């Protein structure tokens, strides 16, 4: 039997389903909407079936589309596994690997070792993506994600990389202008820096119950680090991003042993799908970097 469907058209079809629109698929694949539209039309023509019910407001799978989606995903997965097995026979992980992590983790734990990784695995093409919130790996076409904090139950495989302790810190500049807090209650008298879009990250897991509210908020940990380094206030930050700042006296740890440890914010995992067809590339990445991380 001759298969008429082209793999590129199948990939575009699945991406439209995942994104819910032709525009979303085009943005994700960095192409034009017209290209996606032509691809879907070509696929429908080859299959002699309408895969989507289109309106001015939305795109929905037709009955035929629902039926075909399962087989489209399975076929691409089988092809991907076949390519992976061939690469495994050669003994060298090869191909594209899309990695997602919060910007502070990328900046401080991944990017410093990219050159060494490329020397060790020259056939792996890395796509490094920064998202501050948890993403859907399938929707974002991501192979492996580094997640900070306690994991919710899911069908993802998780490899724990370790814990990164939290430290209450301020810059010498800030402390020179303000009194040094000697106990947790005195934190209320200071300018605190917290997260704007993730209120749960403003839980400092202190050994005493104190209602702390940030005066300044930012969308990610690296922005909070920069605000703290520049003397704008006191923050609670992970060791993996401020260890060198403390060692070099750019930041001063305050009230040591005041934070409950271990706590849910300290956990760091690499997550990916168990049936991932890029397992050798994921293993190469995780095994390499787990030896480099300074959590």
Domains of the chain by start residue, with CATH: 7-88 (1.10.10.10), 93-159+266-290 (3.40.190.10), 166-260 (3.40.190.10)
- Report residue 284: phi and psi, to 5°: -60, -45
- How do beta strands 144-148 and 267-273 pair? antiparallel
Average pLDDT score over residue span 112-140: 83
pLDDT computed for residue 282 by the predictor: 86
Residue 41 has pLDDT above 80, yes or no: yes
Cβ count within 10 A of residue 51: 24
pLDDT bracket for residue 281 (50, 70, 90) = confident
pLDDT computed for residue 155 by the predictor: 64
Three-state SS letters, the chain: CCCCCCHHHHHHHHHHHHHCCHHHHHHHHCCCHHHHHHHHHHHHHHHCCCCEEECCCCEEECHHHHHHHHHHHHHHHHHHHHHHHHHHHHCCCCEEEEEEECHHHHHHHHHHHHHHHHHHCCCEEEEEEECCCCCCCCCCCCCEEEEECCCCCCCEEEEEEEECCEEEEECHHHHHHCCCCCCHHHHHHCCEEEECCCHHHHCCCECCCCCCCCCEEECCHHHHHHHHHCCCCEEEEEHHHHHHHHHCCCCEEECCCCECCCCHHHEEEEEEECCCCCHHHHHHHHHHHHCCCCC
Residue 211 has pLDDT above 50, yes or no: yes
Residue 171 has pLDDT above 90, yes or no: yes
The CB-side HSE value for 112 (13 A sphere, CA atoms) comes to 11
CA dist 193 and 215 (Å) reads 6
Calculate the alpha carbon distances from 11 to 72, 73, 238 in Å: 8, 8, 39
Average pLDDT score over residue span 208-215: 88
pLDDT computed for residue 153 by the predictor: 57
Name, in order, each residue with C-beta under 8 angstroms of 275's C-beta and a sequence gap of 6 or more.
77
Residue 173 has pLDDT above 90, yes or no: yes
Taking every pair of C-alpha atoms in the chain, what is the biggest distance, in angstroms?
A: 79
Residue of 211 and 3 predicted with greater confidence: 211
Q: Which residues of 225-260 are buried (b: 16+ CB within 10 A; e: fewer)?
A: bebbbebbbbbbbbbbbbbebeeeebbbebbeebbe
Residue 156 has pLDDT above 90, yes or no: no
CA dist 18 and 40 (Å) reads 14
Average pLDDT score over residue span 131-144: 71
**How much is the mean pLDDT over the chain?**
85
Tens of pLDDT, residue by residue over 44-98, are 888 888 888 876 667 888 888 888 888 888 777 777 767 666 666 566 788 889 8
Average pLDDT score over residue span 230-239: 95
Residue 133 has pLDDT above 80, yes or no: no
Average pLDDT score over residue span 203-229: 91
pLDDT computed for residue 253 by the predictor: 95
Quote the percentage of the chain above a pLDDT of 70. 88
Residue of 91 and 288 predicted with greater confidence: 288
pTM: 0.68
pLDDT computed for residue 2 by the predictor: 47
């Amino acid at each position: 039997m001759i298969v008429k469907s082209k793999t590129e058209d199948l990939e575009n079809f699945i991406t439209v389903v995942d994104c819910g629109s032709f525009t979303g698929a085009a943005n994700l694949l960095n192409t034009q909407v017209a290209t996606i539209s032509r691809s879907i039309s070509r696929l429908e023509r080859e299959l002699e079936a309408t895969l989507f019910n289109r309106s001015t407001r939305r795109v929905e799978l037709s009955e035929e589309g629902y039926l075909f989606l399962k087989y489209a995903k399975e076929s691409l997965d089988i092809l991907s596994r076949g390519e992976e097995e061939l690469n495994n026979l050669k003994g060298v992980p090869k191909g594209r690997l899309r990695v997602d992590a919060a910007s502070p983790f990328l900046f401080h734990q991944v990017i410093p070792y990219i050159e060494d990784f490329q020397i060790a695995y020259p056939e792996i093409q890395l796509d490094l993506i920064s998202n501050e919130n948890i993403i859907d790996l399938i929707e974002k076409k991501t192979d492996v994600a580094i997640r900070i904090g306690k994991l919710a139950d899911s069908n993802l495989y998780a490899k724990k990389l370790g814990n990164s302790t939290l430290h209450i810190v301020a810059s010498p500049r800030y402390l020179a202008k303000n009194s040094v807090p000697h106990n947790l209650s005195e934190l209320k008298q200071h300018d605190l820096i917290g997260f704007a879009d993730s209120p749960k990250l403003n839980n400092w897991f202190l050994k005493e119950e104190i209602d702390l509210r940030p005066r300044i908020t930012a969308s990610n940990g690296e922005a909070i680090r920069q605000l703290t380094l520049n003397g704008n206030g006191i923050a609670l930050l992970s060791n993996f991003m401020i260890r060198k700042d403390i060692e070099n006296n750019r930041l001063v740890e305050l009230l040591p042993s005041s934070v409950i440890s271990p706590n849910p914010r300290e956990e760091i995992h690499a997550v990916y799908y168990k049936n991932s067809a890029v397992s050798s590339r994921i293993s190469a990445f995780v095994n390499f970097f787990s030896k480099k991380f300074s959590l």
